[in-house]
């Protein structure tokens, strides 16, 4: 029997001087996104997050906290995923590689368009958390 479970992913809101790091996706679905990707079998989500950031931006990230877990079945048009989203810091200049066509730092009040997946919601939640200390309410999805 084949199980049809959500696929685990990670995303990282990387805080840097001037804003947060976003990548322009080389592959569909196109758009700007937080650095992140699929968790490999046998890999802890924290390791996957640091690996994906390094692969896509060349940055060594320090994970500071967990923002939230996003699991809306419609968040990724390819399949049902659930993303563990971290907030982290890094130094240096992001350099696009792997499946990132570009990597840049953007101010939260000057985000590029379009944003891929549910990353607009994630960044709005991040901004609210930074301003008020409030994390997303799990009851909002019910």
Enzyme catalytic residues: 102
What do you get for the CA distance between the two ends of the chain, in Å? 29
CA distances from 58 to 62, 92, 97 (A): 13, 9, 7
Strands 62-70 and 19-25, by their bridges, are unpaired
CB contact at 8 A, 50 and 14: no
Quote the tokens at residue 107. Answer: 């101010």
Alpha carbons within 13 angstroms on the beta-carbon side of residue 116 total 21
C-alpha to C-alpha distance for 30 and 39, rounded to whole angstroms:
20
Which helix (H) or strand (E) segment is 54 a member of? helix 45-57
């Amino acid at each position: 029997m084949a199980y049809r479970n959500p696929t685990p992913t990670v995303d990282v809101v990387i805080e840097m001087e001037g804003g947060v790091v976003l990548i322009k996706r080389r592959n569909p679905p196109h758009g700007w996104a937080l650095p992140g990707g699929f968790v490999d079998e046998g890999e802890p989500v924290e390791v996957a997050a640091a690996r994906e950031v390094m692969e896509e931006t060349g940055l060594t990230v320090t994970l500071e906290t967990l923002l939230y877990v996003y699991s809306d079945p419609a968040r990724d048009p390819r399949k049902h995923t659930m993303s563990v989203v971290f907030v982290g810091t890094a130094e240096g200049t992001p350099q696009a590689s792997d499946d990132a066509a570009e990597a840049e730092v953007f101010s939260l009040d000057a985000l590029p368009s379009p944003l891929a997946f549910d990353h607009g919601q994630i960044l709005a939640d991040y901004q609210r958390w930074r301003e008020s200390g409030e994390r997303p309410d799990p009851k909002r999805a019910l």
